[in-house]
Structure 1
Amino acid sequence: MNLKILKIIAKKRIIKNNLKPNNYILGILYNKNINKSFYFININNICYNNYNYFYIYYNKKKYLSIIKEIQYHPISDKIIHIDFFNLKKNQIINTKLNIKFIGKPLGVNKGGILEIIKTSINVRGIYKYIPEFLFINIKHLNINDKFYVKNIIRNNDKYFIKESVNNIICYIKNIKKKTVVKNKK
């Protein structure tokens, strides 16, 4: 698997006055042996380009990491803080795997509506074996058909799905046409 990695240049955080520079975001990088606070600026690349992994350059060292938590401002909805988790070689992680749906379901062609319940699933495995996306083919779904977690076909056994097999990912909802009854007087 090719890792899609974004480089982040981190600036040392000065705790003395606790003021952050304009347009910078506070970040924390942690693991068992690491706990570093820093500022970084290229936030748009993080949030809008679906990067799963990040190289954080801090004090002339490079740290491979993933996002564990993002905190937003309650009013402006701007990102104010991001926690990064530093990955070690062959480390097992718990993460969310985003789902991409392939094809137009048969039931939609017949007037049904695709209802998506889950856009990601929880997985556990060695980070380098977890794919960027889980592709699910839904072309065969007819009206009232459901796609369950147990229907997922994976191309490798290097990661495990941590969801109930009976969880519904999506289904085709039947839309009944309303008939208009005219009152005769």
Structure 2
Amino acid sequence: MKTFQLEGTPRTIAERSSEQKKAIKALRKEDLIPAVLYGGTENIPFTVSNDAVRKLVYTPEIYAIELTVGKKKTMAIVKEIQFHPVNDNILHMDFLEINDQKPIVMEVPVALEGHSEGVKAGGKLSLEMRKLKIKALYTKIPEKLVINIDNLGLGKTMQVGELHFEGLEIMNAKNAVVCAVKLTRAARGAQAKSGK
């Protein structure tokens, strides 16, 4: 997994919720995103700039984040991002402190490799799950899960239960379909002719 450098500025949280709302509104006007780091001895509220997180958020890749908030340096991952329902601006971010002793759960992109038998026979390859939920130590999590589809025949599917990756536990339902080779009209026609 790649590492992303991110610097945050510590912030204080107001006691009264009305003051807190005003403070957060003011932060967003300055193009800052309120964020919280969880998972340590205490939760740490801080802010990050929109520009600083753009390459972290709007990418298909996953990162371990080298996060610096004030004088505290830690490794973290993005736990949750809240977007504005209309303009899609980032409203809030949650980060989770990680270490190489405790496993974490993270969504990892799926990459298909090989030439499916079913596609060679005229079928259409369909990727049903772009990401899989993985539980492992963050040092063991790959940038993507590579799945070989050479033996995937026409009209066949590959389910989560058929996959195995060393040192990783897949958290998705075992019967969930990861990819499939669907019959096309041409493939159905060819199949019907060969069946006669």
Fold shared, TM-score > 0.5 on shorter chain: yes
Matches for 1:106-185 after TM superposition, within 5 Å: 106-154=117-165, 156=166, 158-177=167-186
* Distance in 1, Cα, partners of 2:102 & 2:89: 31
What SS does the aligned partner of 1:74 have? coil
**Equivalent residue in structure 1 for 2:45, among 16, 37, 41:** 37
* Distance in 1, Cα, partners of 2:30 & 2:116: 48
Q: TM-score, normalised by structure 2?
A: 0.79
What SS does the aligned partner of 1:142 have? coil
The offset of 1:32, in angstroms, is: 4.7
Structure 2 residues without counterparts, runs of 5 or longer? 15-21, 190-196
* Distance in 2, Cα, partners of 1:169 & 1:84: 28
Q: Does 1:25 align with 2:23?
A: no
* Distance in 1, Cα, partners of 2:173 & 2:78: 24
**Equivalent residue in structure 1 for 2:82, among 63, 66, 71:** 71
For residue 95 of structure 1, what is the aligned residue in structure 2?
106
The offset of 1:93, in angstroms, is: 1.3
* Distance in 1, Cα, partners of 2:150 & 2:58: 28
How many residues align? The count is 175
Q: Does 1:9 align with 2:7?
A: yes
* Distance in 2, Cα, partners of 1:145 & 1:130: 28
What SS does the aligned partner of 2:151 have? coil
The offset of 1:79, in angstroms, is: 1.4
* Distance in 2, Cα, partners of 1:176 & 1:51: 38
Greater percentage in helix: 2
* Distance in 1, Cα, partners of 2:144 & 2:129: 13
- 1:6 corresponds to which letter in structure 2? F
Cα offsets for 1:97-118 (capped at 9, x unmatched): 2211113423233332222221
Q: TM-score, normalised by structure 1?
A: 0.84
Cα offsets for 1:1-22 (capped at 9, x unmatched): xx41111110122545512052
Cα offsets for 1:53-103 (capped at 9, x unmatched): 111111122110011111000100121111000113411112222211113
